[in-house]
Amino acid sequence: MRKKLYQILLFVCILVLISFISNRFLYVKYIPVTEWNGEQYEVNPEVNSKKLKENMKIILKYYEVSFKENEKGELLIPASLQRNKEMLYNYTKKAMDEEFVKSRSE
């Protein structure tokens, strides 16, 4: 009985560790969230221009959010940020605001 309890506890610990690692170190392609319609956020990959990506890098640096670029030049952000639609919407909105970006890049 005790051995079974240790196995279950070990299994749960491993799952928690895997979850932590995947949230912390897994990067996914940035897909802009551009609208809030009152009920849900709208994901809009069509607006993902080179200018928006450059602006988004400035915003992410400003807020100390890690990011990467892959060999195709795509912006990669932490998976946890891509799942947080509200935060991603706020960052995208700021990246689309040229005045805000300019004030943060100086």
Q: How many distinct structural domains can be found in the chain?
A: 1
In a domain, 79, yes or no: yes
Q: Which two tokens stand for residue 1?
A: 């009985």
* Residue linked to tokens 């994901």: 43
In a domain, 2, yes or no: no
Q: Would you state the pLDDT for residue 8? A: 86
Q: What domain range is 65 assigned to? A: 27-105
In a domain, 34, yes or no: yes
Reduced to 3 states (helix: H, G, I; strand: E, B; else coil), residue 64 is coil
In a domain, 53, yes or no: yes
Instruction: Taking the CA atoms of 47, 51, 56 and 59 in sequence, report the sign of the dihedral they define.
Output: negative
Average pLDDT per block of 10 residues along the chain, 106 residues long: 84 80 76 78 74 92 93 91 89 91 82
59 Cβ neighbours under 8 A, 6+ residues apart: 91, 94, 95, 101, 104
